[in-house]
């Protein structure tokens, strides 16, 4: 069925590890790109306008996380927090310290690889960065170290962004273009903000805008949130969302993770529970990257194919409109100025969404230096090959991913800070909500049972039990919806007789308290919550 995956198999057995699925899909994507999409890109000079051609390492590399933020927002400290160890080239301080792009990757021994050597290594996905010249390569390096976290992901640290025109000019390379290059290839983009520095400088604004089309990869971290109290944090969060709304033009609200991502004691502990929950959510998002790597590469190839098709339509239209002999320069200027109208015309003619077209202003600037007479006319066969890839081959690959991954264990990031929250008393939710009392000998409900018993005996028990009608009168005073109360009733009625004895009633009140405190109810009743008088019959019934 997947014979077109061809040579990528390499004799490996796909018996049981999800990495084998990634290898299979990776080989299929690489084969599709080389046979179907690359010819279209080369014919219409796609690489001169948008993105360099993809190479072997672009398909084979581990998931990458790009960190972007203004100076002293804690980017390097965040990496140190995840790895739980220093990495070569790391510098941390309140002043702007990281002045380079640092790719933090796995290596058998610690060491640095300078940028010029890095871009000639065929095993690294950075070869196409050579086009940004020595000014950039002198500010680019790879930091390698043997760390468990880096076996699953790689992390890209970027220079802290300052305010003002001087820094932008003095870089010597196009900072936003470099960020855009990384954004197209990474799996996650994390924007870091300091609770005390929410202003978005002009360069930071331009940097964020360079992520256009990669909105699904962006996450926001509001760091150093322990340095403000709850009231201030609410104001800071609101101000951050307002600032982001002016820069990121999407109707969806970006996911913002609030916390203090370093290993020092919290300065303000009143929001500790919030910070722990947010950190756990962020960890889960990062940990899922290896599992979703194949899907991400598939998605990025689809986006690239759609853009390449649109680019082919634009270039071939410009070629068609050019005169054969006289007035070429004037016609070129006219076509460039009419580019917005041409976009609309092509949208209607080929039924293309406006969101698939490149930015008009950028395209106009690039077209200024081009000779339109050297453009190629439309070749339907090249377009058909890409359409066939999108309609059939990609769908088959997606089906393969779905079928295989459903039968395989979840592949997650391990090591560093990720292991500290997985198990034991410091795991998220340990000893809270329905898990409270799990490691205690005494029934956890017993401490509040005297108060629950007083209520129980006001509800007219008969033979030591109250009816569902009488129990409902008390339970609805919690103001919880009937769907929730119905679940609580089902959990509390251990013997399923449609009535509650005093222990079952106490359990129901305890479950109501859990829900009112903001915790989720368990799907099935945990063994430590089963009332003592019901434990043997209940467990036998199980």
Q: Which residue has the higher pLDDT, 363 or 262?
A: 363
Kind and range of the H or E element at 467?
A: strand 465-467
What is the number of structural domains in the chain? 3
pLDDT at 13 over 50: no
Q: Does a structural domain hold residue 8?
A: no
Q: Does a structural domain hold residue 487?
A: yes
Question: Which tens digits make up the pLDDT trace of 29-80?
Answer: 889 999 999 999 999 999 999 989 998 888 888 999 999 998 888 898 999 9
Q: 432: alpha, beta or left, given left = phi > 0 and alpha = psi -120 to 50?
A: beta
Determine the pLDDT at residue 243.
85
pLDDT at 7 over 50: no
The structure tokens listed for 176 are 């936003």
- Please give the share of the chain, as a percent, with pLDDT higher than 70: 88
281 and 262 share a domain?
A: yes
At 154, is the pLDDT very low, low, confident or very high (cuts 50, 70, 90)?
very high
Q: Which residue has the higher pLDDT, 542 or 331?
A: 331
Determine the pLDDT at residue 3.
34
280 and 313 share a domain?
A: no
Q: Which residue has the higher pLDDT, 169 or 270?
A: 270
What is the side-by-side strand order in the sheet with 218-223? 111-114, 140-145, 101-106, 154-157, 64-69, 188-194, 218-223, 256-258
Contacts of 120 (CB under 8 A, 6+ apart): 127, 130
Determine the pLDDT at residue 29.
86
Cβ atoms within 10 Å, residue 422: 14
Q: What angle do CA 494, 499, 501 make, to 5 degrees?
A: 70
Determine the pLDDT at residue 160.
85
225 and 346 share a domain?
A: no
Q: What is the arithmetic mean of pLDDT over 456-476? A: 93
Distance separating alpha carbons of residues 319 and 458, to the nearest angstrom: 88
Q: What is the arithmetic mean of pLDDT over 309-337? A: 93
Determine the pLDDT at residue 163.
61
At 535, is the pLDDT very low, low, confident or very high (cuts 50, 70, 90)?
confident
Determine the pLDDT at residue 380.
94
Q: Does a structural domain hold residue 105?
A: yes
Q: Does a structural domain hold residue 225?
A: yes
Question: 113 has which bridge partners?
Answer: 142
pLDDT at 96 over 60: no
Question: Which tens digits make up the pLDDT trace of 229-246?
Answer: 999 999 999 999 888 888
Q: What is the arithmetic mean of pLDDT over 362-368? A: 94
Average pLDDT over all residues of the chain: 86
DSSP character for 12? Answer: -
Kind and range of the H or E element at 331?
A: helix 328-337
Question: Which tens digits make up the pLDDT trace of 413-432?
Answer: 878 888 765 555 666 667 78
DSSP character for 99? Answer: -
pLDDT at 99 over 80: no
245 and 372 share a domain?
A: no
94 and 196 share a domain?
A: yes
At 394, is the pLDDT very low, low, confident or very high (cuts 50, 70, 90)?
confident
Determine the pLDDT at residue 540.
41
Determine the pLDDT at residue 537.
47
487 and 396 share a domain?
A: no
Q: What is the arithmetic mean of pLDDT over 312-335? A: 92
The whole domain housing 257 covers: 64-288
Q: What is the arithmetic mean of pLDDT over 279-296? A: 89
385 and 120 Cβ atoms separated by less than 8 Å: no
Distance separating alpha carbons of residues 527 and 513, to the nearest angstrom: 18
Q: What angle do CA 291, 224, 256 make, to 5 degrees?
A: 45
Cβ atoms within 10 Å, residue 215: 13
323 and 363 Cβ atoms separated by less than 8 Å: no
Determine the pLDDT at residue 95.
54
Determine the pLDDT at residue 483.
92
Kind and range of the H or E element at 104?
A: strand 101-106
Determine the pLDDT at residue 190.
96
83 and 104 share a domain?
A: yes
Determine the pLDDT at residue 406.
62
293 and 187 Cβ atoms separated by less than 8 Å: yes
At 9, is the pLDDT very low, low, confident or very high (cuts 50, 70, 90)?
very low
Q: What is the arithmetic mean of pLDDT over 262-272? A: 86
Determine the pLDDT at residue 434.
87
Determine the pLDDT at residue 407.
61
pLDDT at 501 over 50: yes
User: Looking at residue 366, which CATH number applies to its domain?
Assistant: 1.10.268.20
pLDDT at 307 over 70: yes
How large is the angle between the packed helices 289-321 and 328-337, nearest 10 degrees?
140
At 162, is the pLDDT very low, low, confident or very high (cuts 50, 70, 90)?
confident
Determine the pLDDT at residue 382.
95
Determine the pLDDT at residue 415.
83
DSSP secondary structure string for all residues of 202-224: HHHHHHHHTTTT-GGGEEEEEE-
262 and 178 share a domain?
A: yes
Q: What is the arithmetic mean of pLDDT over 308-328? A: 93
108 and 88 share a domain?
A: yes
Lowest mean pLDDT among 157-161, 219-223, 469-473, 490-494: 157-161
Q: Does a structural domain hold residue 509?
A: yes
Determine the pLDDT at residue 538.
44
384 and 472 share a domain?
A: no
355 and 473 share a domain?
A: no
Please report, for the chain, how many H helices and E strands are present, in that order.
24, 10
Q: What is the arithmetic mean of pLDDT over 206-219? A: 88
User: Looking at residue 263, which CATH number applies to its domain?
Assistant: 3.40.50.300
Determine the pLDDT at residue 92.
72
Question: Which tens digits make up the pLDDT trace of 503-532?
Answer: 999 999 999 999 998 888 998 999 999 999
342 and 267 share a domain?
A: no
User: Looking at residue 469, which CATH number applies to its domain?
Assistant: 1.10.238.10
């Amino acid at each position: 069925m997947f014979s077109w995956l061809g040579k990528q198999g390499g004799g490996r057995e796909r018996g049981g590890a999800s990495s084998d699925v990634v290898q299979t899909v990776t080989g299929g994507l690489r084969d599709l790109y080389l046979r179907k999409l690359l010819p279209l890109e080369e014919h219409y000079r796609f690489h001169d306008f948008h993105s360099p051609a993809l190479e072997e390492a672009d398909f084979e590399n581990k998931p990458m996380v790009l960190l972007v933020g203004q100076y002293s927002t804690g980017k390097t400290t965040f990496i140190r927090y995840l790895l739980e160890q220093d990495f070569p080239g790391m510098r941390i301080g309140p002043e702007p310290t990281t002045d380079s792009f640092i790719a933090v990757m796995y290596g058998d021994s610690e060491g640095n690889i300078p940028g010029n050597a890095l871009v000639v290594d065929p095993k690294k996905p950075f070869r196409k960065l050579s086009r940004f010249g020595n000014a950039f390569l002198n500010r680019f390096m790879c930091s390698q170290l043997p760390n468990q976290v880096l076996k699953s992901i790689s992390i890209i640290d970027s220079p802290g962004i300052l305010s003002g025109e001087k820094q932008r000019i003095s870089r010597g390379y196009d900072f936003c273009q470099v960020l855009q290059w990384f954004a197209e290839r990474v799996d996650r983009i994390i924007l870091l903000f300091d609770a005390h520095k929410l202003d978005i400088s002009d360069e930071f604004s331009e940097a964020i805008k360079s992520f256009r089309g990669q909105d699904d990869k962006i996450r926001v971290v509001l760091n150093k949130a322990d340095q403000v109290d709850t009231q201030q944090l609410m104001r800071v969060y609101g101000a951050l969302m307002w600032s982001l709304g002016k820069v990121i033009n999407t109707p969806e609200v970006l996911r913002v993770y609030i916390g203090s991502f370093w290993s020092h004691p919290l300065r303000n502990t009143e929001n500790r529970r919030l910070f722990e929950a947010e950190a756990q959510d962020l960890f889960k998002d990062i940990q899922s990257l290896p599992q979703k790597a194949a899907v991400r590469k598939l998605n990025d190839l689809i986006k690239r194919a759609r853009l390449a098709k649109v680019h082919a339509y634009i270039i071939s239209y410009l070629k068609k409109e050019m005169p054969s002999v006289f007035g070429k320069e004037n016609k070129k200027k006219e076509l460039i100025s009419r580019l917005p109208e041409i976009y609309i015309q092509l949208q209607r003619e080929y039924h293309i969404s406006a969101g698939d077209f490149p930015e008009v202003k950028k395209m106009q600037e690039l077209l200024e230096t081009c000779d339109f007479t050297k453009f190629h006319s439309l070749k339907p066969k090249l377009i058909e090959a890409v359409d066939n890839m999108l309609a059939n081959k990609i769908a088959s690959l997606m089906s393969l991913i779905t079928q295989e991954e459903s039968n395989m264990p979840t592949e997650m990031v391990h090591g560093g800070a990720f292991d500290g929250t997985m198990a034991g008393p410091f795991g998220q939710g340990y000893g809270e909500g329905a898990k409270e009392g799990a490691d205690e000998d005494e029934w956890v409900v017993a401490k509040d049972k005297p108060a629950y018993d007083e209520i129980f005996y006001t509800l007219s028990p008969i033979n030591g039990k109250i009816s569902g009608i009488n129990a409902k009168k008390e339970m609805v005073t919690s103001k919880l919806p009937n769907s929730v109360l119905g679940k609580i009733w089902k959990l509390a009625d251990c013997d399923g007789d449609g009535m509650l004895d005093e222990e079952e009633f106490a359990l129901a009140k305890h479950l109501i308290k859990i829900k009112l405190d903001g915790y989720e109810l368990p799907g099935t009743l945990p063994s430590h919550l089963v009332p003592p008088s019901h434990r043997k019959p209940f467990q036998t019934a199980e």
